[in-house]
Amino acid sequence: MPALPSHRLDVHLVPADRTDRAVAEVWSVWEDWVRRGYLTAEGPGPLAGELIPGGFVAARVDDPRAVVLYSNQVGGFQVRCPICGHGLAREFRPPGPTRCPECNGSFEVEDLDCRPPVALGRASIVLMDVASAVVNRVPTGWSVVLRRVG
């Protein structure tokens, strides 16, 4: 039985680098945010509201030790061809390319029209139980993935 949506919304901040260097990049941003007061070693810092309006309850680093698809966990998401708009949920098999049976295009995950947004990544910073889906300090080149937690 699939998980049911809850009131809890988490934000994953995912660097574009999909190699093991992404883990070091995530920790570097974490340490910078501790210095700036957005985080503490245990979670939200005194200036957490400047990062996420209204703040968040907890934070952690996600290190799955492999490239994973960060996406909504409950419910699903739409995947559409960026050329013809054909639905590609059945064909979607990351991390490889997705072929559109309608226009015969072949697309990487970041080129597809995914709603809500998804990202392939090697690691992420997770801001848990956020008060807002707005992130004011997204590192350059990183993706924001909203995850409703069941």
pLDDT in tens, 95-118: 899 999 999 999 999 999 998 899
pLDDT in tens, 113-134: 998 899 999 999 999 999 999 9
pLDDT in tens, 14-44: 999 999 999 999 999 999 999 999 999 889 9
Identify the bridge partners of residue 79 per DSSP, sorted by sequence position.
Answer: 114
pLDDT in tens, 39-74: 998 899 999 999 999 999 999 999 999 999 999 876
- Residue 76: predicted pLDDT: 67
- Residue 47: predicted pLDDT: 98
Q: What are the structural domain ranges in the chain?
A: 9-75+116-148, 78-114
Is-above-0.85 flag for pTM?
A: yes
Over 50: is that where the pLDDT of 3 sits? no
- What is the rounded CA–CA span in Å between residue 54 and residue 32? 20
